[in-house]
């Protein structure tokens, strides 16, 4: 008679299979686009059966949103580290900008998932409210950017006349996102035109933004 598998072992196996599915789905969604990926594709990539994929995720929407949540959590961890690494507000927001660009460079699949969701949150069939866990993760990453700006306004390294920190944070996000995307997609052309690669573009952009953020004489 075979011995029953211990509960802890069963839970570890379930988590392992779930992680396999999420990893496979993330890679396929980022490379092929959500509409071009089936559960069969994901099952083959994860080396699991299709019924098992359905067991963990009943539909594409729930699976896609879980991959986005994992991507956002990775970005959130990077922002937390960046926020803690600068002694002044302006250094904190600069570090957050660099962390965002590194996220795009070091984990392009996760970055692409975030872009897919941000550009069209209703891109999944049967779209409904965004899960609270994902919404809270988004708010947390944005909140850290706003906090860095508020810190700078308080410590004198960022001008106080820029307006609400949360709104300034969105403007800076748009700027850094554009630079990260352009550097990734047009890096060779940038070097041919200016002798500046994607990293150079980011640092030049941060320099310009620093000049706009700093208080006069700061």
- Is residue 136 classed exposed, middle or buried when 0-12, 13-18 and 19+ CB atoms within 10 A define those classes? middle
Boundaries of domain holding 116: 67-213
How large is the C-alpha radius of gyration of the chain?
21
127 and 205, same domain (yes or no): yes
11 and 87, same domain (yes or no): no
20 and 102, same domain (yes or no): no
Query: CB of 147 within 8 A of CB of 83?
Result: yes
pLDDT in tens, 58-80: 988 889 999 999 999 999 999 99
Please report the pLDDT score of residue 128 as a whole number: 67
Last residue of a domain, one of 58, 87, 102: 58
pLDDT in tens, 120-175: 655 554 566 778 888 899 999 999 999 999 999 999 999 999 999 999 999 999 99
- pTM comes to 0.84
150 and 74, same domain (yes or no): yes
Q: How many domains does the chain have?
A: 2
108 and 125, same domain (yes or no): yes
């Amino acid at each position: 008679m075979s011995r029953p598998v211990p509960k802890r072992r069963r839970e570890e196996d379930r988590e392992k299979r779930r992680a396999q599915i999420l990893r496979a789905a993330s890679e396929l969604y980022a490379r092929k686009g959500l509409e071009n990926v089936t559960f069969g594709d994901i099952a083959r990539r994860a080396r699991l059966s299709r019924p098992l994929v359905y067991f963990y995720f009943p539909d594409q929407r729930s699976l896609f949103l879980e991959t986005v949540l994992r991507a956002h959590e990775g970005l959130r961890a990077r922002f937390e580290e960046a926020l803690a690494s600068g002694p002044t507000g302006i250094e904190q927001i600069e570090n957050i900008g660099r962390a965002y660009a590194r996220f795009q460079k070091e984990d392009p699949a996760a970055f692409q998932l975030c872009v897919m969701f941000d550009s069209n949150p209703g891109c999944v069939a049967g779209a409904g409210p965004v899960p609270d866990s994902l919404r809270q993760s988004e708010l947390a990453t944005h909140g850290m950017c706003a906090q860095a700006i508020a810190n700078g306004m308080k410590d004198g390294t960022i001008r106080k006349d820029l307006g609400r920190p949360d709104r300034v944070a969105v403007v800076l996000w748009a700027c850094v996102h554009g630079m990260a995307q352009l550097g990734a997609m047009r890096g060779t052309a940038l070097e041919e035109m200016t002798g500046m690669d994607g990293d150079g573009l980011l640092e030049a952009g941060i320099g310009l933004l620093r000049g706009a953020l700093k208080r006069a004489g700061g």
